[in-house]
Chains A and B, each alone.
Chain A
């Protein structure tokens, strides 16, 4: 207990007591606010509005079928700096999840509208997200750093991989077949059209 270190209960016992005797989940409450942030100076654009930015480097191995324009994602490797990983397994899931989600954005997901502004693909049948068959094999390497402001030195996690994945896929397509597609999703038809234009030159 805060202020009275003599009184206390073992964590495991507290959980067991809560589950088996009270039949209730164990709740705690706390809060944290970043106090030493800088307001951005409008003239110079300098300042730091938030802590805990996480950094990532992503490499994706892609295979592009030059005849059908289909892109296969084979392997993806993330070097992820999320401060001190508190639960590495969960963090890995978070990183992979962000990456999988955004591979859908990069290759398949698109909202289509008709000329009156009505959605044409409002069902899962035609709005395609990646399935387990579509995502690559993932490898995550956690880079351990210490964030002085975050809890236990941790930072924000997971979102970084969603930003890097799209760029990595687009770069991978360029590396594979030499065409740069600048609007998402990178569909087979766009790739084939760009290939045709490139060869026509």
Chain B
């Protein structure tokens, strides 16, 4: 329950991806990958995770950086820190929901260490980068001994602290397609205080408008912290498609989303509060996303 000193472990610093995968295969259950360590080291100190080998990805080449091109869209290396993402112009201008999320996460110190790959692979239900990535149709690139595979972010999570990344697989990149013209998005996070807090509710919305800038032609909606995993809400998306983005459509989508979430009561807030806040935040996020899409 309490935080204790770090136990003894062996620290490995592979320089290449195959080397890292080889080490994971060799040490199996006794090894863990470490990127920023902002989740893992705390878990080890609380004795929630036991491991004898830490395999650092810090020295592995080619896992860092943000690249964008018109055809493939955005590629974020899994070891890119949250502050690098926050400083990126292309993320702020074209992938605004993701920027919204990293700008309200943790503290400056944590953001300088924590990585986007780590945030996904830790797979906590309140991970802030997950809902915007789901709404942005992002996928995760996993490399393992048997080769490479691409997994959509919405299929990546299996449960609290469980994801489909295999024991000897490594998340190498996050891929986000180029947004459609006339599309905009937004991520809203409800916290107890204004900074350095876990999400009580996270709502991400991405909307695409038709040429006349009134009717919504495409919508993707995702929620965080209100289910065992970050979830996509198809029912709410259906309520938005083909409709003008106004208060009544947004409210309708909110009501549907409020009924679709499956939160728990914990010491941060109650189930009822979380459900009603999904409703409120969804309505606000849809309105804001609509405003941003019209401005594109």
Contacts and interface: CB of A to CB of B under 8 A. Distances in A.
Interface in B88-142: none
A128 B192 contact: yes
Interface string B1-41: 11100000000000000000000000000000000000000
Nearest to B268: A126
A128 B270 contact: no
Contact of B196 (A67, A68, A131): A131
B50 interface: no
Nearest to B1: A122
Interface residues on A, range: 20 to 34
B194 A134 contact: yes
Nearest to B198: A125
A120 B276 CA distance: 25
Contacts of B198: 125
B197 interface: yes
A52 interface: no
Contacts of B280: 67-68
Contacts of A121: 267
A133 interface: yes
Contacts of A15: none
Contact of A133 (B2, B192, B194, B269): B194
A137 interface: no
B165 interface: no
B195 A133 contact: yes
Interface string A124-168: 011010111110000000000000000000000000000000000
A22 to B, nearest CB: 39
Contacts, number: 39
Contacts of B273: 188-189, 192
B194 A131 contact: yes
A108 interface: yes
Interface residues of B, number: 20
A112 B198 CA distance: 18
A126 B197 CA distance: 8
Interface in B236-281: 267-270, 273, 276-277, 280-281
Contacts of A128: 192-193, 197
B190 interface: yes
A10 B171 CA distance: 68
A108 B270 contact: no
Nearest to A120: B267
B192 A108 contact: yes
Interface in B168-218: 190, 192-198
Interface of A: 67-68, 70, 107-108, 112, 120-123, 125-126, 128, 130-134, 188-189, 192
Given A108-B193, A189-B270, 20 more contacts: A68-B190, A68-B277, A68-B280, A108-B192, A112-B267, A121-B267, A122-B1, A122-B2, A123-B3, A125-B198, A126-B268, A128-B197, A131-B194, A131-B195, A131-B196, A132-B195, A133-B193, A133-B194, A134-B195, A192-B276
6 contacts: A125-B198, A126-B267, A128-B197, A131-B193, A132-B195, A134-B193
